[in-house]
Amino acid sequence: MRVLSGGTGWKGIVGQLAFAGLLAWLVSDIVINARANLQAQHIASGFGFLSGTAGFSVNQALIRYSEADTYLRVFEVGLLNTLLVSIIGIVFATLIGFAVALGRLSPNWLLARLSEGYVEIIRNLPLLFQLLFWYLAVLAALPNPRQSLSVFGLAFLNNRGFVVPHVVPEQGASVFVVAILAAIAASLAMTVYARRRLYKSGERLRVWPLALVLLAGLPLLSTILFGAPVSLDFPALRGFNFAGGTRVTPELVALAIALSTYTAAFIAEIVRGGLLAVPKGQMEAGASLGLSRPAILRLVIIPQAMRLILPPLTNQYLNLTKNSSLAVAIGYPDLFSVFAGTALSQTGQAVEIIAMTMAVYLAISLVTSALMNLYGWHLDRSQRA
Amino acid sequence: MSGDDTTFVRETLAPARKAPVVTTGLVGFLRTRLFNSPFNIALTLVSAVLAWLVLEPTVRFLFVDAVWTGTDRNACLASNAGHPVGACWPFIQAKFTQLIYGFYPEDQRWRANLTFALGALLLAPLLVPRLPGKILNAGLFFIAFPFVAFFLLRGGGLNGFAFYWLVELFGVAWKPSLTRFWLDFSLTAAFGMALMILLGGGWRNGRRAGIVTALTFAGIALVIETLHLDQGGLPVVDTRQWGGLLVTLVVSITGIVASMPIGIALALGRTSQIPLLRIFSVAFIEFWRGVPLITVLFFATYMLPLFLPGDFTIDALVRVLVGIALFAGAYNAEVIRGGLLAIPRGQREAANALGLSYWKTTGLIVLPQALRHVIPALVNSFIALFKDTTLVLIVAIFDLLGQLRAAFADPTWATPTTLFTGFAFTGIIYWVGCFAMSRYSLFVERRLNAHRRT
């Protein structure tokens, strides 16, 4: 009773009932209206449309896709494209963000001002503005394929996109992957063993030369025994365009650049804040214990800063994933663009399609937040212990 | 000291130490911050090259190589200008009114200008913490200004007030006339005053509230008289004709104003003791925060009309505003909740001990403190909102960026540098807006934390 009423007695219960009634009335009203409107427009509700033929092409698909495929397939293609650009964006945003943060904290005045300028300019311009800038102004101003900007003759940048060598898996590929995984596993095991040994006996084992030999040697061995894992198909100029190689569309390039540079500005501020928040005494304490400067950073400062950095950092990753839906403005075939854009305008199933699209983003957000909460709970526990 | 003498007295002066490295002035600055180690020297050189590579072309593009006058693209072609062409400023001059007002009719533009001026006039004193009358000022800006701006920008008049609406609700035809209009107005005003006095606790305590209501209605009457709202008001300008910076400002200011009450309500709901309210608020907030703004805009554009009765249509701009207000409201709710949680429990307990009700405790004690605490964070979320308004171009509403994109399509101005010129101009507008807000947020933050500074 007390829990139900929130400790406010009958007044609370009555208030809640009234609120629930209002909500129920609103929802039923919406449902009735929507049903009537859909009927008036002769749109069948339900998810039956998903098995219908899409009939439009998508200019970038990670899985096999043709115009004869269903809307469900379109959904999958779009989802994979969203994940692709998000992952590329997250990797580059993290790299640029950490670099800019270190630049801003650098004792070098010029570098610090430059990094600050980067953050202040990028952070105060709308993302869509930057996206259109990269796509319409910068990438479109690149030369045509015949005058491509060449990157060491291996990859080519032009106004039709970025052409890179195509990686073709060969016979030895599976063995090669196994070799790499085995090397990584063995190195990790050795590191763990060395740390245990250090904590137990205070004896420091040097692991990294052995790990390096393993990491380089095992794949090399597999290559020698089973042949090269991949062969590269180099792009070559034929006529007016490139033959061979893989073409990364200009849309993907523009979206990846805009998302990673924009998010990097926010990540830089988060990382800087986290590093500055570790009290100066921690560094001095580390120094008085005789740790070297890199060791202080690695063992004392970064673990404490990470604790502050990680939650907002994850938030930025989520923002980046959500912002990747801006792809619709330049026609990159992400989930939103092909599904809530093209598929919606073709089928008119606004309710189902927007609900599905929202559900995907919502699921990504909620799962990530749940993991973050779990991490926070774990931190709390380990701090108390 | 016995026996052998171990004391030591220096007989000659110690040699003078080398003068310490200068750490002040320009030389000291160069020595300590730029050239103090080989690594730092390398960093400095690399940074200098980088800065030069960025700054030199920018300045060259914006000023040195820029073309300042002309009537069409010919002025901005390198072959006619006689030098490599940078920014093509005549393009901006030609498109300026479009970028600012969209297709707002030329003879009515004074209305947009007047709205801008009014907004600036009300906002400026609100931002200066030292000026008095914050409540009146905030009321004028957050409540009165949106209504005035609506009638100024869109035009149109009023048929009546509370009684008119009541009559309409019951489906009785109402023949608008001046006498009826003012009768309705006076009745509504009298009723409002009576209600305020009653709610304020009778004549003795509620007198003040009554007087404030009367003054409010007097203000409303003044606005009605000046804009002739009783006689149909200004000619209607359809929102489809609005565009450019005007739409950007309308969307962001409406978003800011409308998201505040939503944010406060949701924050109170989330911190409330009542389970149903709390669950609803949490679900609502997490839902809007978990989806991208574009899906919200699509939701507002395509799904909202489905939810309303068939004969009821809403303007495309209003639909988008609803979506943005809900979206921004959810974000503001989390910011405000942070402020609510930062208020010590004792404040609420003390208010309870004085016998204040929940609403009085919240409205008079907790919220004012909480909101003051979170002004910087709120300003930051307004910056995000201001930047996010660009997304409306995806649902075919021509804000500043949308107008810019439309201007690019004009073949009279198609030159290699038109795109960069357009982006430079709009970029400066967006940047100045966001940067000013972020500096203001820093300023308020420093002011609020003044007592903590060491």
Q: What is the pLDDT of residue B437?
A: 94
Query: Of the candidates A163, A165, A167, which has an alpha carbon nearest to the alpha carbon of residue A145?
Result: A163
Contact (CB<8Å) B290/A361: yes
Mean of per-residue pLDDT scores for chain B: 87
Q: Which one has a higher pLDDT value, A205 or A104? A: A104
Nearest chain A residue to B428 by CA: give it. A125
Residue numbers in A near B43 (CB within 8 A): 106, 108, 110-111
Contact (CB<8Å) B34/A108: yes
Helix H or strand E segment including B328: helix B316-342
Q: Which of A63-67, A296-300, B59-63 has the highest mean pLDDT?
A: B59-63
- pLDDT tens profile B328-338: 999 999 999 99
pTM, to two decimals: 0.86
Q: Poorest-confidence range of A10-14, A30-34, B54-58, B267-271?
A: A10-14
Q: Poorest-confidence range of A100-109, A125-134, B205-214, B260-269?
A: B205-214
Residue numbers in A near B276 (CB within 8 A): 16, 19-20
For residue B2, pLDDT beyond 60: no
- pLDDT tens profile B151-181: 889 888 787 777 777 777 777 766 777 787 8
State the nearest Cα–Cα gap between A266 and chain B, in angstroms: 12
Query: Of the candidates B369, B360, B370, B377, which has an alpha carbon nearest to the alpha carbon of residue B337?
Result: B370
For residue A167, pLDDT beyond 60: yes
For residue A349, pLDDT beyond 80: yes
- pLDDT tens profile B25-46: 888 888 777 887 888 889 899 9
Contact (CB<8Å) A329/B431: no
- pLDDT tens profile A262-320: 999 999 999 999 999 999 899 899 999 998 878 888 888 888 888 889 889 999 999 99
| Site of tokens 């004391």 | B7
Contact (CB<8Å) B295/A136: no
Contact (CB<8Å) A354/B420: no
Confidence of residue A2 (pLDDT cuts 50, 70, 90): low
Residue numbers in A near B51 (CB within 8 A): 110, 114
Nearest chain A residue to B432 by CA: give it. A124
- pLDDT tens profile B355-364: 998 888 998 8
Q: What is the pLDDT of residue A120?
A: 95
State the nearest Cα–Cα gap between A244 and chain B, in angstroms: 31
In this structure, are strands A236-238 and A155-158 parallel, antiparallel, or unpaired?
unpaired
What secondary structure letter does DSSP report for B310?
A: T
For residue A254, pLDDT beyond 90: yes
State the nearest Cα–Cα gap between B340 and chain A, in angstroms: 18
Q: Detail the DSSP E strand segments found in B264-306.
A: none
Which of A4, A114, A125, A360 should be substituted to probe chain B, the one whose Cβ sees the most B Cβ atoms within 10 Å?
A125
Which tokens is A102 given?
């270190």
In whole angstroms, what is the distance from residue B428 CA to residue B440 CA?
Answer: 18
For residue B1, pLDDT beyond 50: no
Residue numbers in A near B50 (CB within 8 A): 114
Q: What is the pLDDT of residue B55?
A: 93
Cβ contacts of B443-447, under 8 Å, gap ≥ 24 = B444/B129, B444/B375, B444/B376, B444/B379, B445/B375, B445/B376, B447/B129
**B167 — contact with chain A (CB < 8 Å)?**
no
- So where are chain B's domains? 28-64, 157-233
For residue B419, pLDDT beyond 80: yes
For residue A230, pLDDT beyond 50: yes
Q: What is the pLDDT of residue A359?
A: 93
Contact (CB<8Å) A325/B387: no
For residue A4, pLDDT beyond 70: no
Contact (CB<8Å) A108/B47: yes
Mean of per-residue pLDDT scores for chain A: 86
- Evaluate whether B40 touches A107 at the Cβ level (below 8 Å): yes
Q: What is the pLDDT of residue A3?
A: 60
Main-chain dihedrals φ then ψ at residue B399, nearest 5 degrees: -85, -170
Number of H-type helices and E-type strands within chain A: 14, 8
HSE value, Cβ hemisphere, 13 Å, CA-based, for B423: 22
Which tokens is A91 given?
């990797």
In whole angstroms, what is the distance from residue B115 CA to residue B148 CA?
Answer: 8
Mean pLDDT of A314-342: 91
Nearest chain B residue to A357 by CA: give it. B295
- pLDDT tens profile A176-216: 888 889 989 998 998 889 888 888 887 777 888 888 888 88
Q: Poorest-confidence range of A58-67, A80-89, B268-277, B282-291?
A: A58-67
Residue numbers in B near A124 (CB within 8 A): 383, 430-431, 434-435, 438
For residue B3, pLDDT beyond 60: no
